[in-house]
Structure 1
Amino acid sequence: MFKNLKNDFPASVVVFFVALPLCLGIALASGAPLFSGLIAGIVGGIVVGGLSGSSLGVSGPAAGLSAIVLVAISTLGGYENLLVAVVLGGAIQLLFGVLKAGIIGYYFPSSVIKGMLTGIGIIIILKQIPHFFGYDSDPEGDWAFFQVDGKNTFTEIGQIFDSISPGATVIAFVAMFILILWDAVLSKKGKIFKLVQGPLVAVVLGILYFVFTQDSATWGISSDHLVKVPVPDDFESFIGQFTFPNFSVITQPQIWITAFTIALVASLETLLCVEATDKLDPKKRTTPTNRELFAQGAGNIISGMIGGLPVTQVIVRSSANIQSGGQTKMSAIIHGFLLLISVILVPNVLNLIPLSVLAAVLFLVGYKLAKPSTFKRMWVLGWKQFIPFIITVLGIVFADLLVGISLGLAVGIVVILIKNYQNSHFLHIVREEETGLDVVKMRLAEEVTFINKGAILKELNNLHENSYLEIDVRKTRYLDQDIIEILDDFSFRAQDKNINVKIISERGTIENPSSYEQFFNQEKKDKFKVSA
């Protein structure tokens, strides 16, 4: 792991600056102590990063769980009681890993995964616009589109024009210029520009700008627009920031319900992020998902025991890691240590970083996740890819992560059902030279289920009197009982309309069978795979 340190360390610095405001913001959005978000970030980096088999995934507190935590704190009677559910949720995730539940993530279509990445990228951009211009009436972690104060993302953006901070805006544009210049030009000019990353330079310039302009009424940046890390007075006050679970409530049913909810949502979000991260990995490495569930479970147990929020793998941090050139999981682990060191040694320095500079860093992350070329590529792939993709994007932007993924998956399933309906059989009409009759040849697919009833019934009903039908089932390996019943019912109508039916199977050919059910039951016995 250490041979790639020249790439992993600069990437860890970028992830650190991305993770810091997110840890604080998600804690605020969750109604939890600020320090709890930092604990989760540290545990996600060091503990989960060390145990995980993911090369580039980075874990920490996730916005997708903030609504669950916010509600649970009040319903369970306090943050100490919630921590019990976090610990139990981690234990349940360990059980998921033992039961090899990690395969669930592979059942989500790639169009939904790409929609998830794009939707998160759009949210990052939209939510950072106010901070970019120095408007900070809402906390950084207010990720919901429709907010509890009756406003929404777009109305918040519309209000920034009345409250633009010139100083914050200037340094944000300077930071954005540096980031783009570093990424597009300087990173290709020499090793020094790869070792010293653009986000670090932007943050240092942001601190210097604040220090030298803080006395200016016009160009200064107010303290409200700076990072706010808790600053302990001494060692005892530092230890006092930790909160410990109240295990006396462990027998309450609501605790276990919340624990299972956290475990389920955190596991699903992690598995989806794992697949998305693997897709972004330039080396296309595959993360062992069951091991990832084990690592996440261990992380949640430790995080809950010392007062941290629940942990998941987070695509924002992971994508920042990939885009910054991270090579191994050392970048995730180092970012955790950077969070720990900064909280202990230099919290006052961190509190000099303007949020507008961090917004510029996140802008670039969001843009790389939601490039316009992604929309064009999905459109070119056709409606079967584009519709689940765009539904997922809209669901994530206007609702939340789980709603968007659920909608995208539901649409993906509908698309599959439509195509399955259309592809149940192949039908064509040929004219036999000897008899001069038109023969309707229907070749059934490998699997024919009740979903295909409508399509097959429509074709049977369209047959004319005195016609000839051949049904080819030689490639069919599963034939639903519903289809057999349709054919049995059709046999009576076929007699009335003088329609001759020939069935071609692996056993041979039979004309006008008296019982389709009996025929296909025998076919099933012969094939061992065809199910009636």
Structure 2
Amino acid sequence: MFKTIKNDLPASIVVFFVALPLCLGIALASGAPLFSGLIAGIIGGTIVGALSGSKIGVSGPAAGLAAIVLAAITTLGSFENFLVAVVLGGIIQLLFGVLKAGIIGYYFPSSVIKGMLTGIGIIIILKQIPHFFGYDANPEGDLFFFKVDSKGTFSELINTINHIKLGSTLVGIIGLAILLLWDKVLSKKGKIFQLIQGPLVAVVVGVIYYVATQSSDLLAISPSHLVSVPVPEDASSFFGQFSFPNFGAITNPDVWIVAFTIALVASLETLLCVEATDKLDPNKNVTPTNRELLAQGVGNIISGMIGGLPITQVIVRSSANIQSGGLSRMSAIIHGFLLIISVILIPKLLNMIPLSVLAAILLIVGYKLAKPKLFKSMYDLGWKQSIPFTMTVLGIVFIDLLSGLALGLIVGIVVILIKSYQNSHFLHKEGEDVDDGKVKMTLAEEVTFFNKGAILKELDRIPENSLLELDVRKTRYLDNDIIEILDDFAFKAKERHITIKLVSERGTVENPPSYIEFFKLRPKSA
């Protein structure tokens, strides 16, 4: 892993600056202590990063679980009771890994995975626009686009117009300009610009700007628009920030319900992020999914034991890692240690970083996930790809992550059913110009009950006094529902004077007495 340290170290710094405000924001949105988000980020980097088989995936607290955590803390009565559910959820994830449940993520269509990436990219952009302009009434990590109390994404974007702060906006524009200059020009000019990453320079410039303009009424940045890391006064106050699970609540049925919910949702989100991250990886590494579930399980057990939020692999941090040139697990591990060091040694310095600079970094990350050309490429692939993609994006942006994925998957299944209905068989008349009453129907390789309607429709359309040649030589699976349809049609065919020739790998049979008996005798290989 140390062979790629020259790539992983600068990437880890970028991931650190992306992860820091997200850890705090997600904890705030979850109704949990701010320090719990930092604990989850540290464990996700150091422990999960070391155990995971993913070379470029980064784990930490996930926005997708914030609503679940918020409701669970209220239901269970205390944060300490909730931590018991986090520990149990980690144990359940270990069981998932042992049972080889990691394959579940592969059953999501590629169009849905791309839609998830794009939707998350759009959300990142929409959530960071207020911070970029110095409007911070809404905490980072809020999951809802529309909310009655004017704290949804849409209302916050409108409110931003009336609350633009010159200092925050100016330093945000400077940071964005530095990032674009580094990415498009300077990174190609020399190795020094590849070693020292643009986001680090943007953050340093942001801190210098904040210090230099404190005395200016016009250009100063208010404390509310800075990173807010807890600052302990001494060692005892630092360790006093840790919380521990109340295992006396383990007999509470609600604790187990929350534990299973966390395990299921966190595992699904992780597996989908793993697949999405592997798609973004320029080296096309394939992450062992069962090992990932085991790593996540261990991470959640440790996080819950010391007062941290639930952990998943997170696409925002992972994509920032990839875009910054991370090549191995070291970037995730180092980012975790950077979180530890910064929280212990330099919390006051961290609290000088303007949120608008971090927003500029995340705007670039969001744009790279939701590039406009991706919409065009999905449209060019046809409706079977573009519709599930679009529905996933809309669901994630306007509802939430899990609802968007569910919506995209449902639409994808509907598309499959439609295509299955259309491709159940091939039907044509022998001879374009000769009306000799001969009709040939060739069944597909797999014919299930989904195809009942299409086949029934075609059989009913066959005119009287016809010769139907039914070819099943290529058919490897024929559902019993279809066999019953053929049996019923054989009775009707006699009344309509239709002769049926059944062509199979065993030869040709005219008007077989029973299709059920005939297909029972077919070789198993067929």
Compute the TM-score of the two structures, normalised by the length of structure 1. 0.97
CA distance in 1, matches of 2:295, 2:195: 30
Q: Partner residue of 1:203?
A: 203
Identity level (%) = 73
Deviation for aligned residue 1:195: 0.7
Question: Residues 87 and 302 of structure 2 are in contact (CA less than 8 Å); yes or no, is this contact kept in structure 1?
Answer: yes
Deviation for aligned residue 1:176: 0.4
Deviation for aligned residue 1:431: 3.4
- Residue 287 of structure 1 aligns to a residue whose secondary structure is coil
Pairing 1:236-251 to 2, within 5 Å after superposition:
236-251=236-251
Which deviates more from structure 2 when the two are superposed, residues 134-143 or residues 365-374? Answer: 134-143
The aligned amino acid for 2:342 is S
CA distance in 1, matches of 2:73, 2:2: 41
- Note closer, same or farther for the CA distance 1:262–1:336 as it changes in structure 2 (3 Å cut): same
Cα deviation per residue 1:371-400 (whole Å; 9 max; x = unaligned)?
Answer: 001101100001000000010000000111
Cα deviation per residue 1:436-465 (whole Å; 9 max; x = unaligned)?
Answer: 723111011111111111111111111111
The aligned amino acid for 1:297 is G
Q: Partner residue of 2:272?
A: 272
Deviation for aligned residue 1:115: 0.3
Deviation for aligned residue 1:143: 2.8
- Residue 384 of structure 2 aligns to a residue whose secondary structure is helix
The aligned amino acid for 1:422 is Q
Question: Residues 432 and 439 of structure 1 are in contact (CA less than 8 Å); yes or no, is this contact kept in structure 2?
Answer: no
Cα deviation per residue 1:184-231 (whole Å; 9 max; x = unaligned)?
Answer: 110010010011100000000100101011111111000000000000
Question: Residues 431 and 438 of structure 1 are in contact (CA less than 8 Å); yes or no, is this contact kept in structure 2?
Answer: no
Is 1:381 equivalent to 2:381 in the alignment? yes
Which deviates more from structure 2 when the two are superposed, residues 362-371 or residues 140-149? Answer: 140-149
Deviation for aligned residue 1:529: 4.6
CA distance in 2, matches of 1:148, 1:436: 68
CA distance in 2, matches of 1:514, 1:217: 95
Q: Which sections of structure 1, spanning at least 5 residues, go unmatched?
A: none
The aligned amino acid for 1:285 is N
Runs ≥4 residues deviating over 4 A: none
Q: Partner residue of 1:479?
A: 478
Q: Partner residue of 2:45?
A: 45
Is 1:528 equivalent to 2:524 in the alignment? yes
Pairing 1:343-422 to 2, within 5 Å after superposition:
343-422=343-422
Question: Residues 168 and 356 of structure 1 are in contact (CA less than 8 Å); yes or no, is this contact kept in structure 2?
Answer: yes
CA distance in 2, matches of 1:385, 1:157: 31
CA distance in 2, matches of 1:60, 1:310: 8
The aligned amino acid for 2:230 is P
Cα deviation per residue 1:273-311 (whole Å; 9 max; x = unaligned)?
Answer: 000000011110100101000000000000001100000
Question: Residues 474 and 504 of structure 1 are in contact (CA less than 8 Å); yes or no, is this contact kept in structure 2?
Answer: yes
Q: Partner residue of 1:453?
A: 452
Deviation for aligned residue 1:145: 1.4
Question: Residues 45 and 336 of structure 1 are in contact (CA less than 8 Å); yes or no, is this contact kept in structure 2?
Answer: yes
Deviation for aligned residue 1:478: 1.4
Question: Residues 444 and 471 of structure 1 are in contact (CA less than 8 Å); yes or no, is this contact kept in structure 2?
Answer: yes
- Note closer, same or farther for the CA distance 1:331–1:148 as it changes in structure 2 (3 Å cut): farther
CA distance in 2, matches of 1:430, 1:117: 49
CA distance in 2, matches of 1:362, 1:431: 63
Compute the TM-score of the two structures, normalised by the length of structure 2. 0.98
Cα deviation per residue 1:35-64 (whole Å; 9 max; x = unaligned)?
Answer: 000000000000000000100000000000
Question: Residues 51 and 295 of structure 2 are in contact (CA less than 8 Å); yes or no, is this contact kept in structure 1?
Answer: yes
Which deviates more from structure 2 when the two are superposed, residues 471-480 or residues 139-148? Answer: 139-148
- Note closer, same or farther for the CA distance 1:301–1:353 as it changes in structure 2 (3 Å cut): same
CA distance in 2, matches of 1:95, 1:150: 42
Question: Residues 142 and 152 of structure 2 are in contact (CA less than 8 Å); yes or no, is this contact kept in structure 1?
Answer: no
Q: Partner residue of 1:75?
A: 75
Pairing 1:144-223 to 2, within 5 Å after superposition:
144-147=144-147, 149-223=149-223
Q: Partner residue of 1:426?
A: 426
CA RMSD of aligned residues (A): 1.2
Deviation for aligned residue 1:147: 3.2
The aligned amino acid for 1:403 is S
The aligned amino acid for 1:449 is T
Question: Residues 445 and 475 of structure 2 are in contact (CA less than 8 Å); yes or no, is this contact kept in structure 1?
Answer: yes
Q: Partner residue of 2:487?
A: 488
- Residue 161 of structure 2 aligns to a residue whose secondary structure is helix
Question: Residues 437 and 465 of structure 2 are in contact (CA less than 8 Å); yes or no, is this contact kept in structure 1?
Answer: no
Deviation for aligned residue 1:150: 4.4
The aligned amino acid for 1:528 is K
The aligned amino acid for 1:441 is K
Q: Partner residue of 1:60?
A: 60
Deviation for aligned residue 1:151: 4.2
Pairing 1:497-516 to 2, within 5 Å after superposition:
497-516=496-515
Count residues in correspondence.
526
Question: Residues 127 and 143 of structure 1 are in contact (CA less than 8 Å); yes or no, is this contact kept in structure 2?
Answer: no
The aligned amino acid for 1:368 is K
